[in-house]
Structure 1
């Protein structure tokens, strides 16, 4: 079979209804993950010592009856979403509602695909009983990079990217830029309940990502990898501030609300 025929076949498969449904399921599993992280944040605010990140959420789910099976299901959703983003990056949007096909959109789609690949890998690890703490892995990687000037420069670049991504989330929530991501937004009454979820969710998630970026900068400047533990470190640092329990509860609620918005995306997202 020729390369062109393989490409056309792959593109037809990417346009199929079944493939789109799989990608929409990816929004559902993303919502579940954000809900779990939000619940962990609230639990830590009231004295729990769990990790408040994806590894903590996955570990918590793995310990529940039927949790390992649920993790395998989640991993399928993450893979489906990763594949959909790869399709967007290579061929652009596949439907009449698709986003624009600018180079920036394609680069962003590939970046999101990489995130979902990482989530799938982590989820499979916990499903197999070999999952590891994201915070510990982040700290270990940071420690290695901090041993050299180029490594420190790479960490600063990563921190700047996190600050940019977090700031973009806040901007998107405040300006309601998420409206462009949704189909039939004006033709249905869905906007009345989706919009508040999106505004709160995007702002809350953006602030937490900014917090992660700030901690990476601080850790690099101080050559202290223990502070570069990712989302867990950012949220626990927030919880250590005056009125930290209240702040951490609010942050957890915001992340959980973003999870609810992900469920709305499963139905209304442009694919």
Structure 2
């Protein structure tokens, strides 16, 4: 108990920090910028452009090349880092108002989000310093996993987990469950727009994640790391389907809608 005390105390202080709360809201703004850029790159991919990968790395590269790009990337880094700390604090001390039956699941989800935002903060910082990572990272990681004992089934499990997250996003958007994350929507026309953007955005993001998870499942089943990939590969898979160009344009627009929704979430999120 004594070992956990200091950590819990720090987490509680973080939860009551007005400054950290404001910076964490900035993390949702950073998420909005990232998704807008990914959506734009996805639409360009659908229309035949190969100027950049339609994923987080491509978005960071676009931001880095823009006027004032390094400064914007540092702002994104701070926002994601603050949001990561906020989520990890919730993982340690819990989310106020959550029923006991849901507490464990809520803490696990907060921990996962904290890790995700932490990775995004680290990636943004690397691009801000001109040290952006190269491509093929997903394939390399998958190849390493495939060499481990029962590695192919581990890759399949990872893929199925990502598929599950994608389905969760689709259901969350379709059933408007994301409204539980907000303390309001602005009311009137603004509120209606926020709800519609959230619905479209969550469904589109969920579809992309489900396809991404499917690539990992395929890599595991075939024992071929080249079958795996990142978000860009998933979007290319959508493009290669019948009516793929139209599907990818719709998906890209949906991801961009999620970006705009994230701006509203920065204002109305329960923090």
Q: State the TM-score, normalized to the length of structure 1.
A: 0.91
CA contact (8 A) 2:35 2:255 kept: yes
CA contact (8 A) 2:157 2:217 kept: no
List gaps (5 residues or longer) in structure 2: none
Tell me the CA shift for residue 244 of structure 1: 2.0
* 1:34-76 C-alpha deviation (Å, 9 max, x unpaired): 0010000011112211211100110111122211111111000
Match of 1:91 in 2: 93
CA contact (8 A) 1:166 1:208 kept: yes
Tell me the CA shift for residue 109 of structure 1: 0.3
Match of 1:43 in 2: 44
Give 3-state SS (helix, strand or coil) of 2:242's partner.
Answer: coil
Tell me the CA shift for residue 31 of structure 1: 0.6
Structure-2 change in CA distance of 1:248 and 1:11 (3 Å): same
Match of 1:30 in 2: 31
The separation in 2 between residues aligned to 1:7 and 1:224, in whole angstroms, is 44
Match of 1:188 in 2: 187
CA contact (8 A) 1:227 1:233 kept: no
Alignment of 1:206-221 (within 5 A): 206-221=206-221
Match of 1:103 in 2: 104
List gaps (5 residues or longer) in structure 1: none
The separation in 2 between residues aligned to 1:9 and 1:222, in whole angstroms, is 46
The separation in 2 between residues aligned to 1:13 and 1:115, in whole angstroms, is 19
Alignment root-mean-square deviation, CA? 1.9
Tell me the CA shift for residue 256 of structure 1: 0.5
Alignment of 1:125-136 (within 5 A): 125-133=126-134, 136=136
Match of 1:70 in 2: 72
Structure 2 residue 245 is matched with structure 1 residue 245: yes
* 1:162-203 C-alpha deviation (Å, 9 max, x unpaired): 011111111111111112111135x83343111100110111
Structure 2 residue 138 is matched with structure 1 residue 144: no
Structure-2 change in CA distance of 1:153 and 1:194 (3 Å): same
CA contact (8 A) 2:11 2:89 kept: no
Q: Which of these residues, 65, 81, 84, is aligned with residue 82 of structure 1?
A: 84
Alignment of 1:158-177 (within 5 A): 158-177=158-177
Give 3-state SS (helix, strand or coil) of 1:146's partner.
Answer: helix
Structure-2 change in CA distance of 1:100 and 1:80 (3 Å): farther
Match of 1:267 in 2: 267
Structure-2 change in CA distance of 1:6 and 1:103 (3 Å): closer
Counting matched residue pairs gives 265
CA contact (8 A) 1:201 1:256 kept: yes
* 1:99-122 C-alpha deviation (Å, 9 max, x unpaired): 556110000000000101111111
* 1:134-182 C-alpha deviation (Å, 9 max, x unpaired): x510011111222244221211111111011111111111111112111
Q: State the TM-score, normalized to the length of structure 2.
A: 0.91
CA contact (8 A) 2:14 2:89 kept: no
Tell me the CA shift for residue 6 of structure 1: 7.4
